[in-house]
Structure 1
Amino acid sequence: MAAAMQATAEALGNQINQGNHGNTNDEDGPMTLATFLKVHPPTFRGTSNPTYADNWIQVMERALQAQQLWKYTPDASHVLEPEPIQVREDLTLPVIPVRIDDFSIKRLRGREVSLVKVAWSRAGIEEHTWELESDI
């Protein structure tokens, strides 16, 4: 396990030095090891506990992802305009069944229940739910 963790650490180090962008300063170019070390990543202590090893990998991945974020430059073309939706007087949206995607029979306490997976369309968004066949 320790050997695998060491190999992962080396791979992450190589990945850092091979050109992942995301400097915290305003320089262009690949992220350096010094820049990565500024986030104080944890060091792996070589344990046989898989939970600790998995936690270490997750922390390292988060640290790398944080370093890969680019500074956002505002742009007027990035603004999204809201789409108008139809709302009833009682402030509910019309929900329309579009199609049946699947069929299943479940055994519950000795009874058979027929279910269908229904695709619904509401304000242009499609969702799926399992419904009783008798209700559709």
Structure 2
Amino acid sequence: MVMLISVIGLLLMSGLQRQLDAAIQMGNDERHYLRAFNQALSSLNWGMHLDWPPLQDDWTCQTLAADALNVCLKKASDEGLGLLRGEGLLPSQHRPLFLYQRVAFSGLASDRITLQIVSRGWLDFCPDKQAGRCIEPE
């Protein structure tokens, strides 16, 4: 009888340990995601205040190495608008987390471009009509 109670106790403790391990893993994944999300938001915010060189057809990127911020800008398929892309690094993924902000350009006549936020232009997926424009070649 004592042996049976011991075995049942061990099985219950083993099950509880598995549940605890799963909860800890889920908490770690959520923490990593939130860190990457906030890093991408910080990249977007930083990129809005930069002066950008004249745009090419491909992504033009700038990096702030001290804070691991990376932001890229590209012309959108809509005339006069652009896509600003902030990146956040997920430790378990080989691709970063991307957040997008639609922007309007000012100062196009000069050699530096400044950006203005388009209202309701923030998205966590590519907001361009041609979604293929957001994909980078591997």
Give TM-score scaled by structure 1 length. 0.25
Which is richer in strand? 2
Give TM-score scaled by structure 2 length. 0.25
Larger Rg: 1
